[in-house]
Amino acid sequence: MIHANWLPLVVQGSSDEVYAMDSKTLQVIYANEAACKNIQYSVEDLRGLTLHDITAEYSAAELEHTLRSLAIDAVHTDNQPHSLQLNLDLMRKDGSHYPIAFRVFLSQEEPAPVFIAVGKACRPAESSETPEQRESHFNAIISNTPGLVYQFVRMPDGCIAFPYLSEGCQALLGISPEQLRSDPSLLMKLIVAEDRNSYAESMSASALAMKSWNWEGRIWIEEWKDIKWINLRATPCTMENGGVQWDGMMTNITQSKLEEMEIKHSRTRLAELSAHIEHVKEQERTRIAREIHDDLGGNLTAIKMALARLASRLPQGNSDLAEKSAYVDVLVDRTIEAAHRIASDLRPGILDFGIVAALEWQAKEFEAQVGIPCSFLSNVPEINLHSDQATAIFRIFQEALTNIAKHANASQVKVELLRAKNNLQLKITDNGKGIDATDRLKPQSFGIRGMIERTESLGGKLTIGSTPQGGNQVTVKIPLSSRQKSNKIRADH
């Protein structure tokens, strides 16, 4: 390459934009005066940027792919000039975009390969439409747009105005564009009283942060004796006089809002039904457990005592009868033990001693049966809970331990029961392999679903997450009633 002393002067004085970029990092290492003027950056500012930083987002992927392809082609065609045509949108410092057609060259004769981009900003084609035609086309588009397209202005002194309102005003608000323009306060009067504060607050927040205004609320249409839900979305910009103008759209979302409310209502009823079913199930379990313990257990004990009397009266030396008697005695013992176990599973009697004692007992049972060390810690000696709350927490704890035993491959479990001022928190942490988010959503995950439903029936929240060590943590958080909180204060004193 021949370097002439006048070449830098030609490049610097050219009306075309010229950029030089490092071929590996795509960082700008040089830009001529025309480029700096159009892109609104100094050479020093540009040197800290890559082409991605000054390229519109939708052009960035195309840019990198094309330049990498040019570099790869150069490897296979030594000693040949390498260039390509590239059309991009560059982004000025003020955020505006402009199109530019580049011719990009790869120079390999420098100490390191460099991309040289020479481009000329493209001017948009002049429209042959008259202003009247453009306005007609605009109105045609707006007339087919569902909802109300509008401009809204709030002056520094608080005065408001609607410079533009589409014909959708009548269909949406029940008033004509002329009526709303002549009295802009009509919109606030249409809004249901309970929703006016949120409307004003969302407007002020949008003006303060200069971010999109998004609001949902109800309006009352007196003529139709009807309430509508509307959604307002608008983009603010600052006016020269210090006021704010929003360009946006209002749409009728009544149908979707009613459907959303119906879904919420259905979920609430489903949660209530689920809670009722759980309550009935626990009552039935308690009844069956009591009958097994009192009736079946009592009868089995009487049988054992009668069998003992019969055994004492067997003829001496009759080994066959003695063996059968011993076998029946063992069988009765096993049945008594099974009855106690079944009754305990149906409704653990330990719950009568309080939730702290019940959870501590269950932790020890888990450790003894499964062989995994399970520590238990409570920050209070006892917590006054309703029987339904205590039973639900106990069942959640049982299910969590069952999941650990089946799936976690853990070697240690830590359980914490923490009572705060307004809530009760149960944490079950293991050091196993954890659980994937997708596994929690599987249709067959009835255990997790049951845990979530029990928690929600108490007005609480259950979360499942991983620990820094890679294990899993189940956290149950339920609110305490005012009575339970007052009991806590008395207990603490």
Burial (0-12, 13-18, 19+ Cβ within 10 Å), 374: buried
Number of H helices, E strands in the chain: 17, 15
Q: Are residues 170 and 301 in the same domain?
A: no
Across 56-84, average pLDDT: 60
Q: Are residues 93 and 20 in the same domain?
A: yes
% pLDDT > 90, the chain: 33
Q: Which residue among 303, 325, 346 closes a domain?
A: 346
Q: Which residue among 323, 346, 369 closes a domain?
A: 346
Look up the CATH number of the domain holding residue 70: 3.30.450.20
pTM over 0.75? The answer is: no
Q: What is the pLDDT of residues 412-438, one digit of tens each?
A: 999 999 998 889 999 999 998 877 655
Judged by DSSP in three states, 470 sits in: coil
Q: What letter would DSSP give residue 487?
A: H
Retrieve residue 293's tokens. Answer: 């313990």
Place of tokens 């055994």: 311
Retrieve residue 281's tokens. Answer: 């199930």
pLDDT band at 182; cut points 50, 70, 90: very high
Q: Which range is least confidently modeled, 238-242, 339-343, 406-410?
A: 339-343
pLDDT at 219: 94
pLDDT of 443 strictly over 60: no
pLDDT at 90: 84
Domain that includes residue 329, residue range: 276-346
Q: Which residue among 236, 252, 268 closes a domain?
A: 252
Q: Are residues 96 and 162 in the same domain?
A: no
- Dihedral pair phi/psi, residue 120, rounded to 5°: -125, 125
pLDDT at 81: 47
pLDDT of 1 strictly over 50: no
CA atoms within 13 A on the CB side of 429: 14
Residue 130 lies in a domain: no
pLDDT at 75: 53
pLDDT at 10: 64
Q: Tally the domains of the chain.
A: 4
Residue 271 lies in a domain: no
Retrieve residue 163's tokens. Answer: 């410079």
Retrieve residue 56's tokens. Answer: 């519109």
Q: Are residues 366 and 488 in the same domain?
A: yes
170-192: b or e for each residue (b if 16 or more CB lie within 10 Å)? bebbbbebeebeeebeebeebbe
pLDDT band at 279; cut points 50, 70, 90: confident
Look up the CATH number of the domain holding residue 413: 3.30.565.10
The more confident residue out of 492 and 395 is 395
Q: Determine the Cα–Cα distance for residues 333 and 471; give it in Å rounded to an integer.
A: 41
Across 192-208, average pLDDT: 95
Residue 139 lies in a domain: no
pLDDT band at 184; cut points 50, 70, 90: very high
Retrieve residue 15's tokens. Answer: 């009306």
Residue 131 lies in a domain: no
Cβ neighbours around 407 below 10 Å, total: 15
- Dihedral pair phi/psi, residue 146, rounded to 5°: -70, 135
Q: Are residues 420 and 478 in the same domain?
A: yes
pLDDT of 183 strictly over 60: yes
Q: What is the pLDDT of residues 17-47, one digit of tens each?
A: 998 888 778 888 888 998 999 899 988 888 8
Q: What is the pLDDT of residues 464-490, one digit of tens each?
A: 988 887 789 999 999 987 555 544 434
Angle at the Cα of 269 from the Cα atoms of 267 and 270, rounded to 5 degrees: 60
Average pLDDT score over the chain: 82
pLDDT band at 439; cut points 50, 70, 90: low
pLDDT of 176 strictly over 80: yes
Burial (0-12, 13-18, 19+ Cβ within 10 Å), 265: exposed
Q: Which range is least confidently modeled, 106-110, 163-167, 368-372?
A: 106-110
Q: What is the pLDDT of residues 301-333, one digit of tens each?
A: 889 898 888 888 888 878 888 888 889 989 989
pLDDT at 110: 55
Residue 409 lies in a domain: yes
Q: Are residues 306 and 370 in the same domain?
A: no
Q: Determine the Cα–Cα distance for residues 343 and 351; give it in Å rounded to an integer.
A: 13
Which of 161, 162, 190 lies closest to 175, judged by CA?
190
pLDDT band at 205; cut points 50, 70, 90: very high
Q: Do the Cβ atoms of 64 and 89 come closer than 8 Å?
A: no
Residue 430 lies in a domain: yes
Q: Determine the Cα–Cα distance for residues 243 and 385; give it in Å rounded to an integer.
A: 57
Q: What is the pLDDT of residues 280-295, one digit of tens each?
A: 887 887 788 778 877 8
Q: Are residues 338 and 368 in the same domain?
A: no
Q: First-to-last CA distance in the chain?
A: 91
Q: Are residues 313 and 378 in the same domain?
A: no
Retrieve residue 364's tokens. Answer: 């020890």
E-assigned strands of 122-225?
148-154, 160-165, 213-221
Q: Are residues 393 and 486 in the same domain?
A: yes
Q: What is the pLDDT of residues 110-150, one digit of tens each?
A: 567 788 888 887 765 455 556 666 666 666 666 666 789 99
Q: Are residues 389 and 483 in the same domain?
A: yes
The more confident residue out of 316 and 252 is 252
Retrieve residue 403's tokens. Answer: 């999941």
Cβ neighbours around 336 below 10 Å, total: 17
Q: Are residues 303 and 362 in the same domain?
A: no
Residue 212 lies in a domain: yes
Residue 444 lies in a domain: yes
Q: Are residues 112 and 55 in the same domain?
A: yes
Hey, what's the torsion of the CAs at 299, 303, 304, 310, to 10 degrees?
A: 160
Retrieve residue 491's tokens. Answer: 């207990």
